[in-house]
Chains A and B, each alone.
Chain A
């Protein structure tokens, strides 16, 4: 499913968070959203998925829903947002319980999502028993169990250590290769953006505007190959040049929220 953001602006009281943002996400692609901290990335993501009402502008979709889609706009959260009193299985099935599926179909869907995320042996564990990486895998399983049309990821790996992050990136790539879910991926980490995204949208400092949209030319499957390392490092350098000065200014800004 395509997503079209048209002239979206948002303000929190007096604070202008987004200013006339327009962009289009094509079905099947992964778009990374980067920008200095506080530039409105999370705000934009919330608006895209209908969790926040924009002050101006609109968000449209076009194209068919994927088969078996129960929740078209689905989020994966930075802090996982798992229910600590539910087991892994219970957390994943939470997303299905209000859809009136038969018990059999629900169990089947949960089981296949758990299998896809390597969680089968943890099905009956509580979140507190899991490592951060495993917790986020539960978050991912809960998201794919509803077969989303659009997947919104707000810094899904930034609460994890570097090694776990590496492993989860591989998992995400494997899942995307299979399901071809249209995804929007917010991150601070340029390396993540360059590894995972088809296109990278750079936002300016607050109020966030689209500064540039950069395409990653190297095909996703080949990015781990050594021969592309240089091209990717160059791209990362270019992105850094784009946001460096603004990041420095944003860093010195007072938070009024």
Chain B
């Protein structure tokens, strides 16, 4: 028999499967390194407080009830602004996905308005609605509106045409085709749009609260910064990050439940 050689395996890699636990280990390592640098004096407390003092600052604020008040104020603005912007975006995006007229008007208008940083409009909105809640909610709603329009419109556009034809061939009325075929078909795209729009809402609420608010996480961070209370400042930032994580977790659960057919 002639000499044999094994065939070398070369199909490995390029397969980023989630490693459970890896993310926790990374988090723990970063925080531990941070704590170590702080305790060893490498990081001056004035510029960067240690994780422990941040936790302490957070705990203190929770005790006095100040934190809950700030958090509640921000959450309320986010919820309202996000809901208004999302409803509007879904309606406009769906119309643009269905009607030629809505599309030819909506596309250029969206392209023109989307890139404007919505926070730049806040002074104008304050002129219109006053310094109170409505101007902040409107800023968030506007920020959420355009990405939602785009993701909804793209998702509806991506629903296979043959499914629509199928609906027509069975005599489904147009409204039923929208409700039973287009919208469920667009749901994956709409949900991934929610990820973007919820982050935008979080960014904008802080920005808006920094411009004029008594309560809210943004106001809390700004006040801490003005008083050089870096431990509280970082505590506020950590809170934002936790909020972002919670929203992302909630959306993942929602996706897993709504898209279990995938």
Contacts and interface: CB of A to CB of B under 8 A. Distances in A.
A86 to B, nearest CB: 8
Contact of B168 (A51, A77, A83, A85): A51
Contacts of B172: 94, 98
Contacts of A84: 261-262
Nearest to A84: B261
Contact of A75 (B163, B166, B185, B187): B166
Given A81-B165, A85-B184, A74 B261 contact: no
Interface in B176-191: 176, 180-181, 184-185, 187
Interface in B159-218: 162-163, 165-166, 168-173, 176, 180-181, 184-185, 187
A79 B163 CA distance: 10
The A contact surface, by secondary structure, is: loop
B165 A95 contact: no
B181 A83 contact: yes
A128 interface: yes
Contacts of B171: 70-71, 98
With most chain A CB atoms within 10 A of its CB, the pick from B162, B163, B181, B261 is B261
Interface string B131-167: 0000000000000000000000000000000110110
Given A71-B171, A126-B261, A81 B166 contact: yes
Contacts of B176: 97-98
Interface string A162-196: 00000000000000000000000000000000000
Given A49-B169, A146-B170, A81 B163 contact: yes
With most chain B CB atoms within 10 A of its CB, the pick from A49, A79, A81, A146 is A81
A95 B162 contact: no
A122 interface: no
Interface string B62-105: 00000000000000000000000000000000000000000000
Contact of B166 (A70, A77, A97, A98): A77
Interface in A55-99: 70-71, 73-75, 77, 79, 81, 83-86, 94-95, 97-98
A154 B181 CA distance: 21
Given A81-B163, A85-B184, A98 B173 contact: yes
Interface in A110-162: 126, 128, 142, 146
Interface in B101-118: none
B173 A77 contact: no
B83 to A, nearest CB: 24
B261 A73 contact: no
B191 to A, nearest CB: 13
Contacts of B185: 83, 85
Contacts of B168: 51
Contacts of B169: 49, 51, 71, 73-75
Contacts of A98: 171-173, 176
Given A79-B162, A84-B262, 9 more contacts: A51-B168, A51-B169, A70-B171, A73-B169, A77-B166, A81-B163, A83-B184, A85-B187, A142-B170
The 4 A-B residue pairs whose C-beta atoms are closest, nearest first, are A81-B166, A85-B261, A75-B169, A95-B170
Interface of A: 49, 51, 70-71, 73-75, 77, 79, 81, 83-86, 94-95, 97-98, 126, 128, 142, 146
Interface of B: 162-163, 165-166, 168-173, 176, 180-181, 184-185, 187, 259, 261-262
8 contacts: A51-B169, A70-B171, A81-B166, A83-B181, A83-B185, A85-B259, A126-B261, A142-B170
